[in-house]
Structure 1
């Protein structure tokens, strides 16, 4: 579907009703999950005043998410996607309601801080199990609600909405902690999980592409891993983004910066968390009209390089507003990276392997947010908060330079040919 001037239609995917519902569903779910993570980070740091405790939150979620991811991808490829997604969202809703109760003084007023802390860790761990299935299911569902010709445009909108939710959730978390407190902030998280369930009810059941993959579970999982590893473009995009998120995870330490370094409190914390959201929102607007698939390799490398620079700037900054600008820049660059990576995955992944490839993606990138939180907390404990942030940004820059020099195929990646092939399906 192109316009009369033969230019790509920036609203192509939005012309399908279920895709619009899907965007609402995805935004609500990502918003709720990312907001919950930040609210719990704030609560845990308030309880412990220990940077390492922030890292443990990430470890509690990433451990089951990574260990179960490949098996989850195998299940997703053989399951009806809507029904499986209903179960995932219900599981998350139960967990968010549990955290709502754990932050209610009337419930836990007589509990020790250690009991509250370990109860939070337990629920976060269960959330990691849910997350192992959630990511691959959403990734697979997207390809079933729009035709192949709209995949590139749909990937742009979907990844942009994901990015907006991923940064707006934490941004609102910062403000809501200041306005209504931790407890009622968790109530808001629960409300958004219910909203996602309501949106999902508007999407019809979809056929199972490959109900019987064949062979053993081990062979099925190996097939998914081999596909990602042997496809150098997919592997390169996932690896590069994983390193950026893993070592550039300065946002995991924002409670420390807000409370102890910049000394701006909960309100300043909200502004710091909102800064990447503004950058990501600009990315969404621009990418809808200026497709990023031309010279995608160079654009992805440049975006992650800028992301690394912004993290280093944030680490060095002692000015609140300079820190806000650095985080805004990181959101802008990260948004570009997410859009390009999701476009690559949608164009390069066969339909019958979307669950397993989505699972590998969740290991490489989705779970690296939480693993990055653990890395940030651990390095902050060992070398100091500021030094750990600068170290992470430097590792990101080094990785981009090495990838650009060692992988000319990835550097020269251009998705225009793939885009043209999909447009021929019209």
Structure 2
């Protein structure tokens, strides 16, 4: 029997030709678009109701808290059960939540308290969906294809971040109920795609009985692997300080003097840079000096944040956000590939859950930090302070995690199975 087809299937550049990966890619595309347009509607609706930057920060905090509360449970579920069923269940629930938000908006009884309730519910679903979807990817492709698959998967997310905010911003002209309805439909489509997803290789499920040791295994594994600890904590502190997305409604309305369409463009700008970079990395994966490349990218992220902070011209603000997104994508691809390649399959859910909390903290908790700082220093002062903080973190982390700084190749480590 000829082995040519099997060998061809293992070639990294053929990853997108695999129907299973395409289903995975489009499922991630749909669920991320749905979430992005939901977020645009929530941010604009909350600011319309309150005109309070602190309340925008509170939206990020309320969305982040469920991932903390459900951290141990979500990782355990991802490693114990069929990951496709877990992801599909979360997406169906997200579709129902968005549909309820649409009904509430059409009826006109939405208050800030209702928004917080629905955002917390979405946050709970994503606490399970995000790490499980990440842990599912290595079962869809071969280990050789994984670096390119991570970049392509990230390109799906970034494509969604481009399309989603712009779609949400323009659709908001017709009212928030329309935006939430579109979100519900896309969550449902993602659930259907995951239902039809076929795996290249069966996942290694956790065999040990649930205990405190297995529940905390993700923390223990990351703590004992300095490269992973440095990579995920770098993202946590750098983006926590440097993230300014929560303030985009304020910049759009009060500093750049634009409307919902302008907010959509601002939210899409980072993804334009990120998507371009992700597609480039899918064709040209990083092969050498990946640690130093990652630190350089985060430093550029901090500088771009500062440029955005002082800009009062929409094209310059968008250009700064494009650079910000491009540099962040380099960091994302390196970090996500390290997490997948340096973690055994039967622990990917628990390690992924911890990684998701770090990502969530850097985004949702970063939005809370930005809202509080903006209330004290104003939006420009808050963004500038965050950019400076990011540069300080880069210098400190290069000294604290020399193994990450000197990491040369992504494939340097080969984990063993560990339940």
Regarding TM over 0.5, the answer is yes
Q: What does 1:104-123 align with in structure 2 at a 5 Å threshold?
A: 104=106, 107-108=107-108, 111=109, 116-123=111-118
CA contact (8 A) 1:51 1:377 kept: yes
Which residue pairs with 2:281 in the alignment? 287
| Aligned counterparts of 1:54 and 1:417: Cα–Cα separation in 2 | 41
The equivalent residue for 1:5 is none
What secondary structure, in the 3-state scheme, does the structure 1 residue paired with 2:111 have?
A: helix
Which residue, 313, 319, 325 being the options, matches 2:319? Answer: 325
Please list the CA deviations of residues 90-143 of structure 1 after superposition, one character each: whole Å capped at 9, or x if unmatched.
111111111112221xx12xx4xxx62111111111111111111121012112
1:85 aligns with 2:87: yes
Size of the alignment, in residue pairs? 408
Partner of 2:216, secondary structure, is helix
Deviation at residue 147 of structure 1 after TM alignment = 2.3
Quote the Cα distance in structure 2 between the aligned partners of 1:41 and 1:273.
11
Structure 2 unmatched runs, 5+: 5-9
Structure 1 unaligned spans of 5+:
3-7
**d(CA) in 2 for partners of 1:208, 1:405:** 37
Distance 1:163 1:235, change over 3 A: farther
| 1:138 corresponds to | 133
1:32-71 alignment runs, 5 A limit = 32-71=34-73
Deviation at 1:9, TM superposition (A): 5.4
Deviations 1:284-317 (A, max 9, x none): 2211222124211111111111111111111111
C-alpha distance in 2 between matches for 1:301 and 1:9? 30
- 1:264 matched residue in structure 2: 258
- Write the mapping of 1:153-192 to structure 2, written as runs, cut at 5 A: 153-178=148-173, 180-192=174-186
Counterpart for residue 7 of structure 2: none
Q: TM-score, normalised by structure 2?
A: 0.92
Aligned structure 1 segments of 4 or more residues deviating by more than 6 angstroms:
none
> What is the rounded CA distance, in whole Å, between the counterparts of 1:417 and 1:268 in structure 2?
42
CA distance in 2, matches of 1:358, 1:293: 24
Query: C-alpha distance in 1, partners of 2:355/2:307?
Result: 29
Alignment check: 8 A CA contact 2:219 2:354 kept:
yes
Cα pair distance change 1:24/1:208, threshold 3 Å: same
Aligned-CA RMSD value:
2.3
Aligned pairs (5 A) from 1:4-403: 11-104=13-106, 107-108=107-108, 111=109, 116-178=111-173, 180-204=174-198, 207=202, 209-214=204-209, 216-403=210-397
Q: CA deviation at 1:55?
A: 0.9
After TM superposition, the structure 1 stretch with the greater mean CA deviation from structure 2, 164-173 or 148-157, is 164-173
Which range moved further: 398-407 or 53-62?
398-407
